[in-house]
């Protein structure tokens, strides 16, 4: 898909957004505020990006989606939008873990990055990655919902930097255990990171008709809990 105009979408966390790029270069990115309704803001954001790039939806050569985990409602919004664009335009749909994208936005040479999203119920969605030579991605701990103490027990030996909105929520606990937390601006711009991951083989093409997000656990309604 090199050379094609790509649209990246992610609404797995409170700071959702969209990005437009080509060959791993970001042409534009719009972040949706934590208090905005992503269901109402995402399409206008896409329209803004296309107009400012002097492009139309028909110019898109592929869609990249942050597949989750994260907010169930949020993940569904970007997923439905991405599937709709891929189907309507007849272009490939590529999926990548939103945790991988959050980690990629904090990538530092070969140092591991552990991305954390708040999963509520005293858990985080966690995954750890390395980005060798900033030219690829290696999974060190696969995405999963886990207790923060369990994540720290497994991850601290890797000497990573912790990133993502979950890392900032639990920054005091992580630092008390000897971990390092990335600055607040790191790990937040997931859509742009999705574009980069797609350029280095970090996103997988999926069947738009049958693909479903990676929720990683049942929703509260399915569990019968809040």
Is the fold of 5-98+188-223 the same as that of 100-181? yes
Rounded CA-CA distance 118/5 in Å is 32
- Using an 8 Å Cβ cutoff, are 78 and 9 in contact? yes
DSSP assignments along 80-119, one per residue: HHHHHHHHHHT--EEEE-HHHHHHHTT-BTTB-EEEEEEE
HSE (side-chain half, CA atoms, 13 Å) at 169: 17
Higher pLDDT, 37 or 133: 133
Q: How confident is the model at residue 34 (pLDDT cuts 50, 70, 90)?
A: low
Residue with more model confidence, 39 or 194? 194
Residue with tokens 């083989």: 201
Domain 100-181: give its CATH architecture: 2-Layer Sandwich (3.30)
Quick check: 126 and 141 in contact, CB under 8 A? yes
Residue 1 pLDDT level (bands cut at 50, 70, 90): low
- Between CA 113 and CA 161 the distance in angstroms is 5
- Please report, for the chain, the start and end positions of each structural domain, with discontinuous segments joined by +: 5-98+188-223, 100-181
Question: Both tokens of residue 218?
Answer: 């049942």
Domain 5-98+188-223, CATH number (from 3.30.230.10, 3.40.50.1000, 3.30.420.40, 3.60.20.10) = 3.30.420.40
Going by C-alpha positions, the residue among 86, 84, 60, 82 that lies closest to residue 4 is 60
Q: Tell me which of 10-14, 38-42, 94-98, 143-147 is least confident.
A: 38-42
């Amino acid at each position: 898909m090199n050379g094609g105009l790509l649209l990246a979408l992610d609404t797995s966390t409170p700071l959702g957004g969209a990005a437009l790029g080509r060959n791993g270069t970001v042409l534009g990115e719009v972040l949706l505020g934590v208090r905005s309704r992503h269901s109402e803001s995402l399409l206008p954001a896409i329209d803004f990006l296309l107009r400012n790039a002097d492009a139309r939806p028909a110019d898109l050569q592929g869609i990249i989606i942050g597949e989750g985990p994260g907010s169930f409602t949020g993940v569904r919004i970007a997923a439905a939008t991405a599937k709709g664009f891929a189907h309507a335009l007849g272009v490939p749909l590529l999926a990548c873990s939103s945790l991988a994208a959050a980690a990629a936005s904090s990538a530092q040479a070969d140092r591991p990055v552990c991305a954390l999203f708040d999963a509520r119920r005293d858990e985080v969605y966690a995954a750890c990655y390395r980005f060798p030579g900033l030219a690829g991605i290696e999974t060190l701990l696969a995405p999963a919902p886990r207790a923060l103490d369990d994540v720290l027990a497994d991850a601290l030996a890797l000497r990573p930097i912790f990133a993502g909105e979950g890392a900032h929520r639990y920054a005091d606990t992580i630092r008390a255990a000897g971990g390092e937390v990335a600055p607040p601006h790191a790990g937040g711009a997931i859509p742009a990171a999705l574009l980069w991951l797609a350029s280095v083989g970090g996103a997988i093409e999926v069947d738009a008709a049958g693909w479903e997000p990676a929720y990683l656990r049942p929703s509260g309604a399915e569990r019968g809990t809040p």
